[in-house]
Amino acid sequence: MNLNIVNIKNKEVEKFDYNFDDSIEINRKVISQVVKWQLSKRRSGTASTKNRAMVNASNKKPFKQKGTGNARAGSRTSPIWRGGGVIFGPTPKDWAINVPKKIKKLALMHTILYKVEQKSLIVIDELNIESRKTKDFITLIKPLNLSNKVLIISDDSNDNMHLASRNLANVKVIKSVGVNVYDLLNYKSILIDKKALSSLLERVK
């Protein structure tokens, strides 16, 4: 894999050469499977309702069977009564699905290759910011011509980087250990420093 490494001024400074086969055909089904796994893990599955057996009410017949003019009723817990039980309502459920580690690893590798193929992965030699101001952060990365939705991956990022970018809704800063398939696909531009890219490729090797 050969990638251009640029500096903060968007000038090429060196080549990134890594023993990584980038001729592999991208398997979209594997990527989709892992994205579904990630999203399923985010679901809380805590939605819950009470059926007629769970409703705290007397089972005494509300009124006599005949003579009132009302429809006959046998219990206040009936689903057709206000405050009664719910028919076929949701119950707590674990939505998580199982995906083998090899599939997760393969999906991450193919997603990286996809971003390289789309020319949306930019490798930078280093990314340090001395100011905590969002305005200074925007000015710093402006020469890189990034899209309006950016994932920044840096193992050397300091507190200033996180503080300066947290006011931007479409910018996320993470370390290489936290990189996942969903985030790579969700953000249009990926800005990654040289050190983080080496660590990331070691994970999927």
pLDDT one-digit tens code per residue, 113-151: 999 888 899 999 888 888 889 998 889 888 888 888 999
CA atoms within 13 A on the CB side of 106: 16
Task: Report d(CA 22, CA 197) in Å as an integer.
Answer: 14
pLDDT over 90 (residue 31)? yes
Q: Which tens digits make up the pLDDT trace of 181-198?
A: 999 999 999 999 988 998
Q: Is 114 helix (H, G, I), strand (E, B) or coil?
A: helix
Which residue bears the tokens 């531009």? 189
Q: Name the amino acid, one letter, at 27.
A: N
Tokens 């398939």: give the residue.
Answer: 181
Domain residues of the chain, as ranges?
2-44+97-204, 49-89
- At 21 the pLDDT is 67
Question: 181, 190 in Cβ contact below 8 A?
Answer: no
* pLDDT tens-digit map of 2-15: 788 888 888 888 88
E-strand stretches of the chain: 2-6, 12-17, 121-124, 150-153, 171-174, 189-193
Strand ranges of the sheet holding 171-174, from the earlier edge strand across to the other edge: 12-17, 2-6, 121-124, 189-193, 150-153, 171-174
What pLDDT score was predicted for residue 22?
63
CATH 3.40.1370.10 fits 2-44+97-204, yes or no: yes
Token representation of residue 156:
């050397």
Burial (CB < 10 A; 0-12, 13-18, 19+), residue 87, is exposed
Least confident of 40-44, 101-105, 149-153, 160-164: 160-164
pTM score > 0.75 for this model?
Answer: yes
The three-state secondary structure class of 99 is: coil
* The predicted structure's pLDDT at residue 129: 83
The pLDDT of residue 20 is 65
